[in-house]
Amino acid sequence: MEEAKSKLRVNRYAHLLYWEQNCYLFHGESNKVYKIPYKLFKALKQEKIDEIEPSYIDILTSEQILVPEQFNEYEESKIKFQKAKYLDSSVSSYSLTIGTSMNCNFGCFYCYEQGVKEEGTIAMPRQVADQTLEFIKRNVPQSTPLKITWYGGEPLLGLDSILYISQSLINLGYQIEGGIITNGYLLTSQTAEQLVKEANVHFAQITIDGPRNIHNKRRVLKGGGPTYDVIMDNIKNASKFISNISVRINVDKSNRDYLYDLLEELKSMPSNVLPSIAPVREENSTFSNEERKREILFSEQEFAEFTKEFLWAIKRTTLEPFFGCSAIQENSYVIDADGYLYKCWNEIGRREQSVGDVWEGITNYELYKKWLSFGDSDFPESCQSCSVFPSCRGGKCPYNILYPESGDGHWCMPEKFNFDDLLIWYIEREIPQNSIINLDENYIYQYNYSINTNAVPQQCQNYCYCVSDKQVANSVDNTSSNCSNYCYCISDKQT
Amino acid sequence: MRLVRYSNLVTFEGDFYVFNQMNGTILQISYDTYKALKNQDYDSISEEEKSFLANRGFLVKDTYDEKAILDLDIQRISHARPSTFSLAIGPTMSCNFNCFYCFEQDFRHKTPPWRKMSKETADQTIKFVQNTIPVSTPLEIIWYGGEPLLAPEVIEYLGTRLQEVGYQFKDNETFIITNGYYLTEKNVKKLVDTVKLRRAQVTIDGPRNIHNRRRPLIDGTGTYDVIMGNVAIAAHYLDSIVLKINVDKTNVEYVPDLLDIIKNELPSNVFPSVDSVATETVENPKFSSICFTAQEYASVYKQYFFLRNDLPRPSLTCSANTESGFGIDDEGYLYKCWEELGKKSVAVGNVWEGITNYELYKKWLTLDTSKYPEKCESCSILPLCGAGHCPNKILFPDHYSNSIDCIPAKWFLEDFLKSYIKKHRNSIEKSITLQRRQ
Amino acid sequence: MRLSKYVHVFPFEGYYWAFNELNANLINFGYSDYRKIMNNEFDKLSPNLLDLMKTSLFLVSDTFDEDAEYDKNIQKSKFSNVLGLTIGVTMSCNFNCFYCFEQEYRGTGKMSKETADQIVKFCLSRATPEKMLSITWYGGEPLLASDIIEYLTNKFREANFNIVGSDIITNGYLLNKRNAELLVRAGVTSLQITIDGPKQTHDKRRILRNGAGTYDVIVNNIKENAHLFNNIQLRINADKEIIEYVPELLEEIRTTFPPNVTPYLAFVRTESVKNPTFGEVCFSDKEYAEAYLDYLYLGTQLPQPYYGCSATMENGWGIDDEGYLYKCWEDVGNKKHAVGDVWNGITNYDLYKKWLSYSTSSFPNKCKDCSVKVVCGGGKCPFRALFPDETTVGVLCSPEKWYMEDIVKYWIVHNVIPQWQANSNVSQNAATQATESVAQENQKAIPISIDLPNLPEKENIPSAQGNFKNDQGSSGFPDQKNKGNSLFKNIFSRFSNKKEDEKA
């Protein structure tokens, strides 16, 4: 088998970084960050495997930093992706996104629920709520933690259902943890307190699109009317009750210049209120014409440029391997105010994309299977040779891959074009310093010692036996005396 | 009232800063102030803030003439009553090395026996100093050359005599620039004791093979091991050693290797510093192809900026442009510019007679911004660069074949500022409105 | 709403029973409920029964896709946190059985230390953080290389692997005291040893290379050393010749060996013997099914959904003595089917992925409308389903195809009725309620005399553990927790798990 030993090469998903005299290696697949000596850095960077110290080879291969020539990172990564879907979801929580209203009191131009929310059910009817409870009882064991995100439309239009469902579940013995996505207009102090006490809501995402005059042009009441002051007030008050408030800022080219103004305002908010920036995407939203759309919306490249300045404020700036959102996992559903089931938030309210309902369960298996089987041949072609695939996986949004026609298709993760900066940020600010594995000589010595000590069996058996079935010998001096066949010695003496 | 011309508005991770090149200060300001300054909307800034900014030199009268102020600064430096006097003394103009890029090649003595400053010259040097410099003025002494450690006894003699006749060293130390070959423990100990040697600059141009090709002895032998060995020991006796790395296109890729070696093998008070082999110092056109252009070098500098991470400072001149600095070679000739040590044609005098070439001497003190090359007229980083801050090149352009090199800040000032801000975020002074907000 | 496709409804012992292949759940109810169900009058059922049937997927929506549900579970079963290895420490063997499927690639050497070391390194690169490992020692005859078993086990331990299961498949001839103790030290807890009938038949088939018989030595080894292990499975390869001697053998086993030695019948089927002259003694599908029925009592569980085996699992590997990697045990040693080796890892990604693509779409056409698809899973052998061209007859049908009801009835007789008899002094609820307590209290006393066969005293065959070769049952793998929807299993756990046998 000696001749079959193949060459080794550097794993495509291993990124090398030389920063301020320290050399780092980030393994995109395992999410581990190593600090490595300069010599090793050089050898890896120049792909000169022969120049790597032999004592390092073992650990580099077991960490899959060095891989055999034929190793196919892409295939292996996709298999890991699928594995994570099952091994993670089978033990942890059940996730439900419940739209308690399919209507909304706002009329934002970029809304991706256009076409469904203008005439939608204002508040979830009691029977639907009850049936939703039945659905949950049928599908979720009480011992499984239940994560509920209140959604819509504008969920606070259906506040009753939020409280009713939450209380019922708690009474049934479920452990629920709530979050809410709301425009914030109706989030009075009293409501916030109720949400916390009765629905265990610990997280709220509220959108503000800029300083007052900018925001008031974009996020208007249905029929017109400003919303900024009310929302800001509400945020300040709600932050006393809800432990985590994320101020989402939907940026496009028409409000990007005012971003700092808003960020300045937010500096005066309590420390549990944090900004989070995301680009306005075309998903399901309609624009009057193509030109206008290009004028307003970022293209993939433009947003990538944008992230260079705002790396520190963009949501999902993370290098952790992306294992899919809840849409592709089993234990998760989106339920609209009429009781229809979906897999993805973007689909809510669009009946033709529903996979079932809370009475019948899954009825559209085709669609359901499409979501659940996501992860092998679905990825765009360009992912095959991409070195940031584990962190990105086609843009961190299966919806955009499965339904490109609904918008501008999938975007590569913007930091891909600025990867070193992201890596520096990640190493310096995001990960705990003690999680960095220091592959210095000491470490290597310990590692090698632990796997390579000569394993001599504790007690020598002095025992051999003969393949041609002569009598079993009982002592070492009795081996193969008159026999031409060979024997095996259990204690690893010579055969 | 307006923002001073040579200033920069910078944003970093949601915070806003303004940097004044004229005096090298940086301030954190509020977004409102930032916007106002950016849009020149000074009325929207509060009176309190405005006076705070004016105080720090950020806001100036509309009629403020920055260039004139710079000239005044230069003048002031030139003619100020000296608080220190700097002397670059070459106890010998001989050198045991044979670096290809040496700018002293033409007037360096290359073979032993080394030509050292004679005792008479040394004594006369002391007399000259006594005649020229009040004894109360601290002396800033740089042992130079050639290779000063070829004549350690001269150093010892001069330094001791100077102290005996009553002079003090600035900061109680002297400084040496050496190739390190003779920076032996014995020499170092001696000089530490006798002439208060505290800091040294030694040049290493790369890992062993690279360095040995570039900085060999005259007979070609490598010098790396000797130097590194010396530095490792000398660092225990000295406060600090700067390891200068002269980079050009042929050795720049080995800098990380060398930095790694320094980090692992040398004590922590040995600091690497990256510098460029300037096209100028190498007159052989064959070598000019390997030297970096200013812009190329700027990228290298940026890459290694973290080694210094200091705030850019205005840099308009050097001691050559003052009345309080001389270079003295082994034969007692006086110079304004150190780089001319040994080049007797441009000496301004000697230690016996003092200044002999008054015209030349005076010319050295006539630096001002009008003498800068045309391209500097509209340059946005004029105060930081000072047209290369080399009065020699500005005043005597015909001595040099190439034009003046821009400094890296020309391309990367914002990056340097951001790098500085990132490291020192918490210690940067806040403007008054920001302070009120705390 | 409708009855789910893979639900079998039948009358037995005064009740109607419904068995759901998808999750191995079993319920019963009375005649009137049965009529309602058959007439699709589900709304007329009692709310409890209706709810139960909906929750346990007996009743499903019209558009419910049973195969998709089954596929979903197959897919889930491909992943586990345990690295499963079948390691052929040597491809040589001291026996010379005519039906051996490894005849063509029997070797003479054993695994070298370097290969063993490299296996550990390979495993390190593929282990999950928990580093759980399950090993089946294999070959050839693994006890010919027992030193390697010990060596490799120690290497794994030094590399801090957590060996959660270790077993061995051996002909038993070399299971003397010393080897047995070595195995114990190496953490081996169960063994599979083959005995082909009583001495007269065994010694004609399972012979040494020089032709000598092996029965006595094997029996003696087992008698002396069985107590050192959790259990020894005695595999009996029955073909048409042997089958008539099986009862005799079973009796011998019962009387000779300690209770942790359990027999099970494997039937030599047409495929495993490439020699055409032996095809005559092999069982065809249906013949096998009949024989299977006769020996059902040897191990009873309700038919379980078949989700694949270690070959379809992402981290199930066969490794031969030269370090080649395989997915299927039967391929171990047959280098043409290797998917890679322990130095290079996977080299044939296409082949590897093909194994992982096992699903209902791998089943042949004849399975399309089969009513026992879920428990048969394309013949309980992914190899046959995925690579039909490499077999002579393709997928072989499982006994349930003909005898599903009988098998379930057998189970009922052994596991439900005895409970009823035990609780006969408790007053009974109408069976139409069919609530969770249906098996516990409140059962009607059944004054029925049933001819129950002589049940063996010992424990049933434990659920297939490790990677035992098993023609009939689903092969178990250690992390088999997620078969079907765990919620539903809870309700009928009493039915689905084996409990102690009750004597007749």
Does residue B352 fall inside a structural domain? no
- Residue in chain B nearest A38 by alpha carbon: B260
Determine whether the interchain pair B260/A37 forms a contact, defined as Cβ–Cβ distance below 8 Å: yes
How far is residue B323 from each of residues A181, A306, B124, C106, measured CA to CA in Å?
Answer: 72, 52, 20, 97
Which has the closest alpha carbon to C93: C85, C102, C82?
C102
Residue A382: both structure tokens together: 């360009």
Query: Shortest CB distance from C144 goes to which of A69, A82, A488?
Result: A488
How confident is the model over C408-467, as pLDDT tens digits? 888 888 888 877 777 764 433 333 333 333 333 333 322 233 333 333 333 222 222 222
- Distance from C-alpha of A97 to C-alpha of A94, rounded to nearest angstrom: 10
The mean pLDDT value for A130-144 works out to: 91
B with C: 3 or more CB pairs under 8 Å? no
pLDDT at A288: 66
pLDDT at position C406 over 60: yes
pLDDT at position A164 over 90: yes
Determine whether the interchain pair A263/B259 forms a contact, defined as Cβ–Cβ distance below 8 Å: no
pLDDT at C331: 83
pLDDT at B307: 87
Query: Shortest CB distance from B257 goes to which of A38, A261, A264?
Result: A38
pLDDT at C499: 33
Instruction: Print the domain residue range for B112.
Output: 83-328
- Residue in chain A nearest C117 by alpha carbon: A452
Instruction: Give chain A's mean pLDDT.
Output: 84
Does residue B140 fall inside a structural domain? yes
Q: Do B115 and B155 have their domain in common?
A: yes
pLDDT at position C157 over 90: yes
The mean pLDDT value for C144-154 works out to: 94
Query: Which of B266, B297, B328 is the last residue in one of the domains?
Result: B328
Instruction: Give chain C's mean pLDDT.
Output: 78
Which of the given ranges, A33-42, A367-376, C484-493, has the highest pLDDT on average? A33-42
- Of A443-447, B143-147, C339-343, where does mean pLDDT reach its minimum? A443-447
- Residue in chain B nearest A264 by alpha carbon: B31
pLDDT at C166: 95
Residue with more model confidence, A373 or C272: A373
Residue A69 neighbours by CB distance under 10 Å: 11
Determine whether the interchain pair A138/C54 forms a contact, defined as Cβ–Cβ distance below 8 Å: yes
pLDDT at position A473 over 50: no
pLDDT at position B57 over 60: yes
- Distance from C-alpha of C239 to C-alpha of C268, rounded to nearest angstrom: 5
Determine whether the interchain pair A18/B14 forms a contact, defined as Cβ–Cβ distance below 8 Å: no
pLDDT at A6: 67
Determine whether the interchain pair C61/A87 forms a contact, defined as Cβ–Cβ distance below 8 Å: no
The mean pLDDT value for B77-88 works out to: 86
Does residue B408 fall inside a structural domain? no
How many residue pairs bridge chain A and chain B with CB atoms within 8 Å of each other? 29
pLDDT at A159: 95
pLDDT at position A30 over 60: yes
pLDDT at B170: 93
Which has the closest alpha carbon to B93: B68, B78, B110, B71?
B110
Residue A448 contacts C where some CB pair is shorter than 8 Å: no
Residue B436 contacts A where some CB pair is shorter than 8 Å: no
pLDDT at position A461 over 50: no
Does residue B292 fall inside a structural domain? yes
Q: Do B202 and B102 have their domain in common?
A: yes
Going by the DSSP 8-state scheme, the letter that residue A50 receives in this structure is G
Give residues 459 to 488 of C whose Cβ lies within 8 Å of A.
481-482, 486-487
Q: Do B304 and B206 have their domain in common?
A: yes
Point out which residues pair with A147 in neighbouring strands. Answer: A95, A177
Q: Do B19 and B142 have their domain in common?
A: no
- Work out the pLDDT band at B319, boundaries 50, 70, 90: confident
- Work out the pLDDT band at A414, boundaries 50, 70, 90: confident
Q: Do B153 and B285 have their domain in common?
A: yes
Residue C2 contacts A where some CB pair is shorter than 8 Å: no
How far is residue A21 from each of residues A37, B202, B261, measured CA to CA in Å?
Answer: 10, 20, 11
The mean pLDDT value for B21-29 works out to: 92
pLDDT at position B412 over 80: yes
Chain A residues whose CB is inside 8 A of the C213 CB are none
How many helices (H) and strands (E) chain B has is answered by 16, 15
pLDDT at B187: 94
Q: Do B39 and B93 have their domain in common?
A: no
Judge whether C25 and C56 are in contact, CB under 8 Å: yes
Going by the DSSP 8-state scheme, the letter that residue C472 receives in this structure is S
Q: Do B42 and B183 have their domain in common?
A: no
pLDDT at position B340 over 90: no
How confident is the model over B374-383, as pLDDT tens digits? 888 889 999 9
Residue C66: both structure tokens together: 């049973």
The mean pLDDT value for A169-180 works out to: 94
User: Is the alpha carbon torsion for C351, C353, C354, C356 positive or negative?
Assistant: positive
Q: Which residues contact B164 (CB under 8 A, 6 or more apart)?
A: none
Residue with more model confidence, B418 or C332: B418
Query: Shortest CB distance from C323 goes to which of A1, A79, A472?
Result: A1
Does residue B321 fall inside a structural domain? yes
Q: Domain coordinates of chain A in residue numbers?
A: 2-71+433-450, 84-412, 459-495
Would residue A350 be called left, alpha or beta, if left means φ above 0 and alpha means ψ between -120 and 50 degrees? beta
How confident is the model over A307-329, as pLDDT tens digits? 888 877 775 557 778 877 888 88
- Count of domains for chain B: 2
pLDDT at position C110 over 50: yes
Q: Do B56 and B88 have their domain in common?
A: no
Chain A residues whose CB is inside 8 A of the B256 CB are 18, 38, 42
Residue with more model confidence, A483 or B30: B30
Judge whether C71 and C360 are in contact, CB under 8 Å: yes
- Which H, E and C letters describe A342-357, residue by residue? ECCHHHCCCHHHCCEE
Mapped onto helix, strand or coil, the DSSP state of residue B275 is strand
Judge whether B88 and B140 are in contact, CB under 8 Å: no
Q: Do B213 and B303 have their domain in common?
A: yes
pLDDT at position B20 over 90: yes
The mean pLDDT value for C213-228 works out to: 92
Chain B residues whose CB is inside 8 A of the A267 CB are 14
- Distance from C-alpha of B165 to C-alpha of B163, rounded to nearest angstrom: 5
Judge whether A370 and A378 are in contact, CB under 8 Å: no
Chain A residues whose CB is inside 8 A of the C160 CB are 450
Chain A residues whose CB is inside 8 A of the C173 CB are 469
The mean pLDDT value for B219-246 works out to: 94
Q: Do B34 and B89 have their domain in common?
A: no
Reported ipTM exceeds the 0.85 cut: no
Q: In terms of C-beta density within 10 A (0-12 exposed, 13-18 middle, 19 or more buried), how is residue B68 classed?
A: exposed
Residue B316: both structure tokens together: 């308009």
Judge whether B297 and B412 are in contact, CB under 8 Å: no
pLDDT at position C232 over 70: yes
pLDDT at position B220 over 80: yes
Query: Which of B305, B328, B351 is the last residue in one of the domains?
Result: B328
The mean pLDDT value for A188-195 works out to: 95
How confident is the model over B226-236, as pLDDT tens digits? 999 999 999 99
The mean pLDDT value for A302-310 works out to: 86
pLDDT at A477: 39
pLDDT at position C490 over 50: no
Q: Do B41 and B190 have their domain in common?
A: no
- Residue in chain A nearest B438 by alpha carbon: A268
How confident is the model over A331-345, as pLDDT tens digits? 899 999 999 999 998
pLDDT at position A235 over 90: yes
Determine whether the interchain pair B263/A42 forms a contact, defined as Cβ–Cβ distance below 8 Å: no
Q: Where are the alpha helices (DSSP H) in C43-134?
A: 47-55, 66-77, 113-126
Residue B250 contacts A where some CB pair is shorter than 8 Å: no
Q: What is the CATH number of the domain that holds B200?
A: 3.20.20.70
Query: Shortest CB distance from A21 goes to which of B31, B32, B259?
Result: B259
Residue A369 contacts C where some CB pair is shorter than 8 Å: yes
Residue B125: both structure tokens together: 């040097």
- Work out the pLDDT band at B310, boundaries 50, 70, 90: confident
Chain B residues whose CB is inside 8 A of the A263 CB are 14, 31
pLDDT at B358: 93
Mapped onto helix, strand or coil, the DSSP state of residue B228 is helix
Determine whether the interchain pair A461/C182 forms a contact, defined as Cβ–Cβ distance below 8 Å: yes
Chain C residues whose CB is inside 8 A of the A73 CB are none
The mean pLDDT value for C335-363 works out to: 92
What percentage of chain A exceeds 90 in pLDDT? 43
Q: Which residues contact A431 (CB under 8 A, 6 or more apart)?
A: A33
Instruction: Give chain B's mean pLDDT.
Output: 89
Query: Which of B268, B301, B328 is the last residue in one of the domains?
Result: B328
Query: Shortest CB distance from A38 goes to which of B32, B260, B307?
Result: B260
The mean pLDDT value for A362-390 works out to: 89
- Among the four given CATH numbers 1.10.10.60, 3.40.47.10, 3.20.20.70, 1.10.10.10, the one describing domain A84-412: 3.20.20.70
Give residues 9 to 48 of B whose Cβ lies within 8 Å of A.
11, 13-14, 30-32
Q: Do B25 and B103 have their domain in common?
A: no
Mapped onto helix, strand or coil, the DSSP state of residue A276 is strand
End-to-end CA distance of chain A: 20
